[in-house]
Amino acid sequence: MHPGPIGIFDSGYGGLTILQQIRRAMPQYDYIYLGDNARTPYGTRSFEVVYEFTRQAVERLFGMGCHLVVLACNTASAKALRSVQQNDLERLDPHRRVLGIIRPTVESMGGLTRSRHVGILATEGTILSASYPLEVKKLFPDIVVTGQACPLWVPLVENNEAASPGADYFVKKYIDALLEQDPLIDTVILGCTHYPLLLEKIRSYMPAGIQVVCQGEYVAASLKDYLRRQPEMDERCSQGGQCSFYTTESVEKFISSASLFLQEPIEVKHTTLG
Protein backbone atom coordinates (compact mmCIF):
# COMPACT_ATOMS: atom_id res chain seq x y z
CA MET A 1 0.00 0.00 0.00
CA HIS A 2 1.39 3.37 -1.09
CA PRO A 3 0.05 6.39 0.79
CA GLY A 4 -1.59 8.91 -1.55
CA PRO A 5 -3.02 12.42 -1.59
CA ILE A 6 -6.47 13.22 -0.27
CA GLY A 7 -8.80 13.78 -3.23
CA ILE A 8 -11.08 16.80 -3.21
CA PHE A 9 -13.79 16.84 -5.85
CA ASP A 10 -16.21 19.50 -6.98
CA SER A 11 -18.26 20.15 -10.10
CA GLY A 12 -16.22 23.32 -10.62
CA TYR A 13 -14.44 25.95 -8.57
CA GLY A 14 -16.66 25.97 -5.47
CA GLY A 15 -14.80 23.13 -3.79
CA LEU A 16 -11.75 25.39 -3.65
CA THR A 17 -13.43 27.18 -0.71
CA ILE A 18 -13.48 23.82 1.10
CA LEU A 19 -9.96 22.87 0.01
CA GLN A 20 -8.66 26.15 1.39
CA GLN A 21 -10.09 25.49 4.85
CA ILE A 22 -8.93 21.86 4.82
CA ARG A 23 -5.38 22.89 3.91
CA ARG A 24 -5.44 25.58 6.56
CA ALA A 25 -6.40 22.99 9.19
CA MET A 26 -4.11 20.23 7.85
CA PRO A 27 -1.30 21.67 5.73
CA GLN A 28 0.88 18.58 6.19
CA TYR A 29 -1.14 16.30 3.85
CA ASP A 30 -0.97 16.06 0.07
CA TYR A 31 -4.09 16.93 -1.90
CA ILE A 32 -5.41 16.54 -5.43
CA TYR A 33 -8.24 18.89 -6.41
CA LEU A 34 -10.40 17.79 -9.32
CA GLY A 35 -12.91 20.23 -10.83
CA ASP A 36 -15.33 18.94 -13.46
CA ASN A 37 -15.52 22.44 -14.90
CA ALA A 38 -16.43 21.22 -18.38
CA ARG A 39 -19.72 19.81 -17.06
CA THR A 40 -20.53 22.29 -14.31
CA PRO A 41 -23.08 23.15 -12.98
CA TYR A 42 -24.38 19.95 -11.42
CA GLY A 43 -27.07 21.76 -9.42
CA THR A 44 -29.76 21.52 -12.07
CA ARG A 45 -28.91 18.01 -13.28
CA SER A 46 -30.83 14.80 -12.55
CA PHE A 47 -29.94 12.32 -9.83
CA GLU A 48 -28.72 9.79 -12.42
CA VAL A 49 -26.41 12.25 -14.14
CA VAL A 50 -24.89 13.63 -10.94
CA TYR A 51 -24.31 10.09 -9.71
CA GLU A 52 -22.68 9.04 -12.98
CA PHE A 53 -20.40 12.11 -13.12
CA THR A 54 -19.46 11.79 -9.44
CA ARG A 55 -18.68 8.09 -9.78
CA GLN A 56 -16.38 8.84 -12.70
CA ALA A 57 -14.58 11.50 -10.65
CA VAL A 58 -14.16 9.19 -7.66
CA GLU A 59 -12.75 6.45 -9.91
CA ARG A 60 -10.32 8.92 -11.45
CA LEU A 61 -9.12 10.15 -8.06
CA PHE A 62 -8.70 6.56 -6.85
CA GLY A 63 -6.71 5.92 -10.03
CA MET A 64 -4.48 8.88 -9.15
CA GLY A 65 -3.62 7.18 -5.86
CA CYS A 66 -6.14 8.76 -3.47
CA HIS A 67 -7.38 6.45 -0.71
CA LEU A 68 -9.73 9.09 0.67
CA VAL A 69 -11.95 11.34 -1.44
CA VAL A 70 -14.03 14.24 -0.17
CA LEU A 71 -16.98 15.33 -2.29
CA ALA A 72 -16.52 19.06 -1.71
CA CYS A 73 -19.81 19.72 -3.44
CA ASN A 74 -23.19 19.72 -1.73
CA THR A 75 -24.99 18.65 -4.87
CA ALA A 76 -22.74 15.59 -5.33
CA SER A 77 -22.91 14.85 -1.59
CA ALA A 78 -26.71 15.08 -1.69
CA LYS A 79 -27.32 13.15 -4.86
CA ALA A 80 -24.41 10.72 -5.27
CA LEU A 81 -22.56 10.04 -2.01
CA ARG A 82 -24.77 7.28 -0.70
CA SER A 83 -25.02 5.55 -4.09
CA VAL A 84 -21.24 5.60 -4.58
CA GLN A 85 -20.72 4.26 -1.07
CA GLN A 86 -23.33 1.52 -1.44
CA ASN A 87 -22.99 0.51 -5.10
CA ASP A 88 -19.41 1.18 -6.10
CA LEU A 89 -16.97 1.23 -3.20
CA GLU A 90 -16.95 -2.51 -2.63
CA ARG A 91 -16.17 -3.15 -6.30
CA LEU A 92 -13.65 -0.32 -6.68
CA ASP A 93 -11.74 -0.94 -3.43
CA PRO A 94 -13.39 -1.63 -0.08
CA HIS A 95 -10.46 -0.06 1.77
CA ARG A 96 -10.92 3.36 0.19
CA ARG A 97 -13.39 5.92 1.47
CA VAL A 98 -15.59 8.67 0.07
CA LEU A 99 -16.93 11.37 2.40
CA GLY A 100 -19.44 14.15 1.83
CA ILE A 101 -19.86 17.60 3.33
CA ILE A 102 -23.52 17.71 4.35
CA ARG A 103 -23.24 15.63 7.51
CA PRO A 104 -20.36 17.68 9.04
CA THR A 105 -22.22 20.88 8.19
CA VAL A 106 -25.37 19.66 9.90
CA GLU A 107 -23.37 18.54 12.95
CA SER A 108 -22.32 22.16 13.46
CA MET A 109 -25.90 23.46 13.48
CA GLY A 110 -26.90 22.40 16.97
CA GLY A 111 -24.50 24.86 18.56
CA LEU A 112 -25.15 27.70 16.12
CA THR A 113 -28.88 28.42 16.26
CA ARG A 114 -30.72 29.81 19.26
CA SER A 115 -34.16 30.19 17.71
CA ARG A 116 -33.88 26.58 16.39
CA HIS A 117 -34.95 27.87 12.98
CA VAL A 118 -32.27 27.43 10.32
CA GLY A 119 -32.28 28.39 6.64
CA ILE A 120 -30.34 26.59 3.90
CA LEU A 121 -29.38 28.36 0.69
CA ALA A 122 -28.26 25.84 -1.92
CA THR A 123 -28.63 24.64 -5.48
CA GLU A 124 -31.92 23.32 -6.77
CA GLY A 125 -30.53 19.77 -6.69
CA THR A 126 -29.50 19.97 -3.05
CA ILE A 127 -32.81 21.53 -1.97
CA LEU A 128 -34.94 19.05 -3.94
CA SER A 129 -32.97 16.11 -2.52
CA ALA A 130 -34.07 17.21 0.99
CA SER A 131 -30.70 15.95 2.27
CA TYR A 132 -30.28 18.79 4.75
CA PRO A 133 -33.69 18.44 6.46
CA LEU A 134 -33.27 14.65 6.53
CA GLU A 135 -29.87 14.86 8.23
CA VAL A 136 -31.06 17.55 10.63
CA LYS A 137 -34.05 15.43 11.61
CA LYS A 138 -31.68 12.62 12.58
CA LEU A 139 -29.33 14.77 14.66
CA PHE A 140 -31.46 17.69 15.90
CA PRO A 141 -35.16 16.85 15.66
CA ASP A 142 -36.04 20.14 17.39
CA ILE A 143 -34.56 22.30 14.61
CA VAL A 144 -36.89 23.59 11.88
CA VAL A 145 -35.08 23.69 8.51
CA THR A 146 -36.21 25.75 5.54
CA GLY A 147 -34.49 25.51 2.18
CA GLN A 148 -34.30 27.99 -0.67
CA ALA A 149 -32.83 27.15 -4.06
CA CYS A 150 -30.67 29.90 -5.59
CA PRO A 151 -30.26 28.69 -9.17
CA LEU A 152 -28.50 31.82 -10.44
CA TRP A 153 -25.80 32.10 -7.80
CA VAL A 154 -23.45 29.44 -9.19
CA PRO A 155 -23.48 30.95 -12.71
CA LEU A 156 -22.76 34.39 -11.15
CA VAL A 157 -19.69 32.99 -9.40
CA GLU A 158 -18.50 30.82 -12.29
CA ASN A 159 -18.75 33.83 -14.63
CA ASN A 160 -16.86 36.13 -12.27
CA GLU A 161 -19.93 38.32 -11.70
CA ALA A 162 -20.10 37.81 -7.92
CA ALA A 163 -19.01 41.36 -7.14
CA SER A 164 -20.91 43.07 -9.96
CA PRO A 165 -23.93 45.32 -9.33
CA GLY A 166 -26.07 42.90 -11.37
CA ALA A 167 -25.55 40.22 -8.73
CA ASP A 168 -27.35 42.30 -6.08
CA TYR A 169 -30.79 41.68 -7.50
CA PHE A 170 -30.44 37.89 -7.38
CA VAL A 171 -28.74 37.85 -3.99
CA LYS A 172 -31.57 39.86 -2.43
CA LYS A 173 -34.25 37.91 -4.27
CA TYR A 174 -33.36 34.51 -2.78
CA ILE A 175 -32.67 35.87 0.71
CA ASP A 176 -36.10 37.53 0.74
CA ALA A 177 -37.70 34.31 -0.51
CA LEU A 178 -36.05 32.32 2.28
CA LEU A 179 -37.04 34.71 5.07
CA GLU A 180 -40.57 34.97 3.75
CA GLN A 181 -40.90 31.22 4.25
CA ASP A 182 -39.71 31.41 7.88
CA PRO A 183 -39.20 34.78 9.61
CA LEU A 184 -37.89 33.04 12.76
CA ILE A 185 -34.63 31.95 11.10
CA ASP A 186 -31.56 33.14 13.04
CA THR A 187 -28.92 31.09 11.18
CA VAL A 188 -28.43 30.73 7.43
CA ILE A 189 -26.13 28.00 6.12
CA LEU A 190 -24.52 28.49 2.74
CA GLY A 191 -25.13 24.95 1.50
CA CYS A 192 -23.25 25.35 -1.75
CA THR A 193 -19.48 25.57 -1.95
CA HIS A 194 -19.66 28.43 -4.46
CA TYR A 195 -21.61 30.75 -2.22
CA PRO A 196 -18.78 31.95 0.07
CA LEU A 197 -17.68 34.00 -2.96
CA LEU A 198 -20.93 35.95 -2.60
CA LEU A 199 -20.57 36.26 1.16
CA GLU A 200 -20.10 40.02 1.28
CA LYS A 201 -23.24 40.67 -0.74
CA ILE A 202 -25.20 38.00 1.11
CA ARG A 203 -24.29 39.57 4.47
CA SER A 204 -25.23 43.02 3.21
CA TYR A 205 -28.79 41.89 2.40
CA MET A 206 -29.25 39.72 5.49
CA PRO A 207 -31.21 41.46 8.30
CA ALA A 208 -29.21 42.16 11.47
CA GLY A 209 -29.30 39.32 13.97
CA ILE A 210 -29.15 36.56 11.36
CA GLN A 211 -25.79 34.85 11.13
CA VAL A 212 -24.49 33.54 7.81
CA VAL A 213 -22.41 30.39 8.06
CA CYS A 214 -19.87 29.05 5.53
CA GLN A 215 -19.36 25.32 5.85
CA GLY A 216 -15.61 25.07 5.03
CA GLU A 217 -14.23 25.31 8.55
CA TYR A 218 -16.72 22.75 9.87
CA VAL A 219 -15.91 20.32 7.06
CA ALA A 220 -12.18 20.78 7.76
CA ALA A 221 -12.60 20.19 11.50
CA SER A 222 -14.68 17.11 10.85
CA LEU A 223 -12.10 15.67 8.42
CA LYS A 224 -9.34 16.29 10.94
CA ASP A 225 -11.34 14.46 13.57
CA TYR A 226 -12.08 11.62 11.12
CA LEU A 227 -8.36 11.07 10.44
CA ARG A 228 -7.62 11.13 14.16
CA ARG A 229 -10.26 8.47 14.77
CA GLN A 230 -9.19 6.37 11.72
CA PRO A 231 -5.41 5.84 12.10
CA GLU A 232 -5.43 3.23 9.31
CA MET A 233 -6.78 5.77 6.85
CA ASP A 234 -4.45 8.41 8.21
CA GLU A 235 -1.49 6.17 7.34
CA ARG A 236 -2.84 5.92 3.80
CA CYS A 237 -2.74 9.71 3.36
CA SER A 238 0.67 10.97 2.29
CA GLN A 239 2.15 13.95 4.07
CA GLY A 240 4.30 16.05 1.75
CA GLY A 241 2.36 19.32 1.93
CA GLN A 242 1.75 19.31 -1.85
CA CYS A 243 -1.42 20.19 -3.74
CA SER A 244 -2.10 19.52 -7.40
CA PHE A 245 -5.04 20.63 -9.50
CA TYR A 246 -6.91 18.95 -12.35
CA THR A 247 -9.73 20.31 -14.46
CA THR A 248 -11.87 18.85 -17.22
CA GLU A 249 -11.99 22.35 -18.86
CA SER A 250 -9.13 24.40 -20.24
CA VAL A 251 -6.15 24.84 -17.93
CA GLU A 252 -5.90 28.58 -18.66
CA LYS A 253 -9.54 29.12 -17.77
CA PHE A 254 -9.15 27.21 -14.53
CA ILE A 255 -6.07 29.19 -13.51
CA SER A 256 -7.75 32.53 -14.18
CA SER A 257 -10.96 31.66 -12.30
CA ALA A 258 -9.22 29.81 -9.46
CA SER A 259 -7.34 33.00 -8.67
CA LEU A 260 -10.67 34.39 -7.39
CA PHE A 261 -10.73 31.62 -4.80
CA LEU A 262 -7.04 31.11 -4.03
CA GLN A 263 -4.40 33.69 -3.29
CA GLU A 264 -1.46 31.69 -4.66
CA PRO A 265 -0.12 30.70 -8.06
CA ILE A 266 -1.07 27.13 -8.96
CA GLU A 267 -0.12 24.53 -11.53
CA VAL A 268 -3.06 22.88 -13.25
CA LYS A 269 -3.35 19.82 -15.49
CA HIS A 270 -6.13 18.83 -17.83
CA THR A 271 -8.00 15.54 -17.51
CA THR A 272 -11.11 13.97 -18.98
CA LEU A 273 -13.84 11.99 -17.24
CA GLY A 274 -16.17 9.34 -18.59
Neighbours of 182 (CB within 10 A): 15
Residue closer to ligand DGL, measured from CB, 31 or 236: 31
Question: Quick one: 77 or 238, whose CB is closer to ligand DGL?
Answer: 77
In this structure, are residues 55 and 231 in contact, taking their beta carbons and an 8 Å threshold?
no
How many angstroms separate the CA atoms of 247 and 273, rounded? 10
Q: Which is nearer to ligand DGL, 74 or 187 (CB)?
A: 74
Q: Rounded to whole angstroms, how far apart are CA atoms 43 and 265?
A: 28
Q: How far apart are CA 243 and CA 6, in angstroms?
A: 9
150 is catalytic: no
- Sequence-separated (6 or more) residues with CB below 8 Å from residue 65: 2, 4, 5
Binding of ligand DGL at residue 135 (CB under 6 A)? no
Give the interface segment with ligand DGL, choosing from 20-28, 70-78, 131-139, 167-175 (CB under 6 A).
70-78
Instruction: Compute the distance between CA of residue 108 and CA of residue 112 in angstroms, rounded to an integer.
Output: 7
192 is catalytic: yes
Among 23, 55, 96, 194, binds ligand DGL (CB under 6 A): 194
CB of residue 226 vs ligand DGL: minimum separation in angstroms? 19
Positive or negative CA dihedral for 64, 258, 195, 174? negative
Binding segment (CB under 6 A) for ligand DGL, from list 5-13, 60-68, 128-136, 259-267: 5-13
Measured between alpha carbons, how far is 50 from 43 in angstroms, rounded to an integer?
9
The 10 Å CB-count burial string (b at 16+, else e) for 205-222 is bbeeebebbbbbbbbbbb
Shortest Cβ contact with ligand DGL: which residue?
A: 43
Write the binding mask 11 to 50 for ligand DGL: x where contact by CB under 6 A, - elsewhere. xx-x-------------------------xxxx-------
105 lies in the binding site for ligand DGL (CB under 6 A): no
Least distance to ligand DGL, CB of residue 40, Å: 5
How many amino acids of this chain bind ligand DGL (CB under 6 A)?
17
> Given 66, 150, 192, 243, which residue is catalytic?
192
CA distance 131 to 103: 9
| Residues lying near ligand DGL in the complex (CB under 6 A) | 10-12, 14, 40-43, 73-75, 123, 126, 154, 192-194
Active site residues: 73, 192
